[in-house]
């Protein structure tokens, strides 16, 4: 047995099944120990058991907190573990626990079968395990999708999954959650009792609601294509889909022709016609630019603060900087790190690396373009904007204005005619 101090480290460093005594441990200490020890899979290729002594008989009872066992099990459930009274030391029981009473030593124990590295691959917010149905991880995207009401889900889809590709991935997650619910249905039909965690999930996640969400996402995807509101990467993927289907149809059409199946051939040719029309429609779409980053306003502010520092860096290149200049360069590095941090925080739900990088590059390109325009304006002193495209100024002499310089001998009649002509000219200028 080991002491409570460093117990989580000792658990993760274990090379075989071990027992740990929780005598003298407070509830908060137990919570921290269990969370630290089992929040991520242990590095094992074979299953081990970790046993916690949580209580004893009459003589040793006072050494254990009354809620020790309850704290261990509740913390394990929060981490996605499930109680399985029939669990044993095999890989299939990873992520489970059970209670035991050692009557020989008169000790109460909780036996944990941890998640191990062989099961770590493929685990996500669904908490997939090989032993049976998955339970949604608390606070995960999957839980929000599964548990959200119809109105909330529709709002989330619009803000969190703006692109066609993200909506497609969202529907894949809904399909996985449906599989979990259906597997619990089968379990109940066979007369098998659900664990507390499974029952809680089953009561909260309705299959009809999931099907409704799935149908809504499909309609939104279709609407997005019809309205031409897709990005370049969305368009590329859609065209690839159509191309693959056309290739497969061509093969089927050839087979139907060889085997002389006119009815089948007619049906396949009709399908090909529809796909060809869809391909033409997609090719005609002018893709939208990638959606802006969520943190774009904060990033723009930081980029503005960064400009004078970039100028200073250029000016001081090749010479020793002063203390003040060195401090400014340190601030520059901090701003650049914060910009990258904000960019990464803008990643959307189910957004792959290619789509996310396209959005980041678009944001950076826009910033460079704006900076280039500002440099041109500043270099020209700002006068280029007012004189851009202007022609040499011509000094027009309005008829009648010459009367200021003409001799006094001009007659009244002549002056009157000149003024009338001037008025006509003024009218023409206004109309132009």
pLDDT, position 395: 53
* Cβ atoms within 10 Å, residue 259: 9
Pick from 279, 252, 280, 281: nearest CA to 267: 252
Sequence spans of domains, the chain: 7-120, 141-226, 232-284, 296-317+324-379
b/e map of 293-311 (b: 16 or more CB within 10 Å)?
Answer: bbbbeebbebbeebeebee
Q: Which regions of the chain are under pLDDT 50?
A: 1-5, 119-125, 127-134, 383-386, 388-390, 398, 400-432
Q: Rounded to an integer, what distance in angstroms lies between the CA atom of residue 320 and that of residue 100?
A: 71
Q: Is 151 exposed, middle or buried (0-12, 13-18, 19+ CB in 10 A)?
A: exposed
Pick from 125, 108, 122, 121: nearest CA to 73: 108
pLDDT, position 144: 85
Q: Rounded to an integer, what distance in angstroms lies between the CA atom of residue 261 and that of residue 168?
A: 36
Q: Rounded to an integer, what distance in angstroms lies between the CA atom of residue 72 and that of residue 112?
A: 10
3-class SS of residue 322: coil
Q: Rounded to an integer, what distance in angstroms lies between the CA atom of residue 353 and that of residue 359?
A: 10
Contact 293, 348 (CB under 8 A): no
pLDDT, position 268: 93
- Compute φ and ψ for 96, nearest 5 degrees: -130, 170
Report how far Cα 304 is from the mean position of its chain's Cα atoms: 26
Q: Is the pTM of this model over 0.85?
A: no
């Amino acid at each position: 047995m080991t002491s409570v101090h460093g117990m989580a480290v000792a658990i993760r460093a274990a090379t075989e099944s071990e027992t740990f005594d929780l005598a003298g441990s407070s509830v908060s200490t137990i919570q921290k120990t269990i969370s630290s020890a089992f929040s991520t899979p242990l590095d094992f290729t074979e299953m081990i058991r970790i046993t916690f002594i949580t209580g004893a008989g009459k003589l040793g009872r006072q050494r254990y907190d009354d809620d020790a066992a309850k704290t261990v099990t509740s913390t394990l459930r929060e981490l996605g573990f499930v109680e399985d009274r029939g669990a044993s030391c095999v890989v299939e029981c990873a992520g489970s626990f059970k209670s035991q009473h050692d009557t020989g030593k008169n000790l109460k124990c909780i036996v944990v079968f941890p998640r191990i590295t062989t099961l770590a691959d493929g685990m996500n917010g669904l908490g997939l395990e090989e032993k049976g149905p998955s339970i949604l991880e608390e606070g995960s995207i999957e839980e929000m999708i599964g548990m959200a009401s119809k109105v909330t889900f529709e709002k989330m889809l619009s803000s969190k999954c703006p692109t066609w590709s993200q909506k497609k991935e969202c529907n894949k997650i809904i399909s996985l959650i449906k599989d979990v619910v259906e597997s619990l249905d089968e379990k109940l039909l066979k007369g098998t009792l659900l664990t507390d965690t499974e029952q809680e999930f089953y009561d909260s996640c309705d299959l009809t609601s999931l099907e409704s969400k799935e149908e809504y996402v499909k309609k939104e995807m279709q609407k997005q294509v019809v309205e031409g509101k897709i990005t370049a990467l969305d368009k590329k993927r859609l065209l690839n889909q159509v191309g693959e289907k056309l290739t497969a149809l061509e093969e089927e059409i050839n087979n139907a022709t060889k085997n002389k199946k006119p009815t089948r051939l007619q049906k396949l040719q009709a399908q090909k016609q529809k796909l060809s029309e869809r391909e033409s429609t997609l090719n005609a779409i002018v893709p939208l630019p990638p959606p802006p980053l969520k943190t774009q306003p904060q990033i723009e502010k930081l980029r503005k603060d960064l400009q004078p520092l970039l100028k200073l860096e250029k000016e001081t290149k090749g010479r020793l900087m002063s203390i003040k200049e060195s401090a400014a360069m340190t601030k520059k590095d901090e701003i650049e790190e914060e910009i990258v941090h904000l960019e990464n925080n803008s990643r959307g739900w189910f957004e792959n690396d290619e789509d996310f990088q396209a959005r980041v590059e678009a944001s950076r390109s826009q910033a460079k373009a704006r900076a280039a325009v500002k440099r041109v304006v500043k270099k020209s002193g700002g006068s280029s904007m007012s004189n851009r495209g202007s022609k040499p100024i011509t000094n027009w002499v309005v008829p009648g204005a010459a009367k200021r310089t003409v001799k006094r001998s001009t007659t009244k009649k002549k002056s009157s005619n000149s003024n009338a002509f001037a008025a006509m000219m003024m009218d023409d200028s206004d109309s132009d």
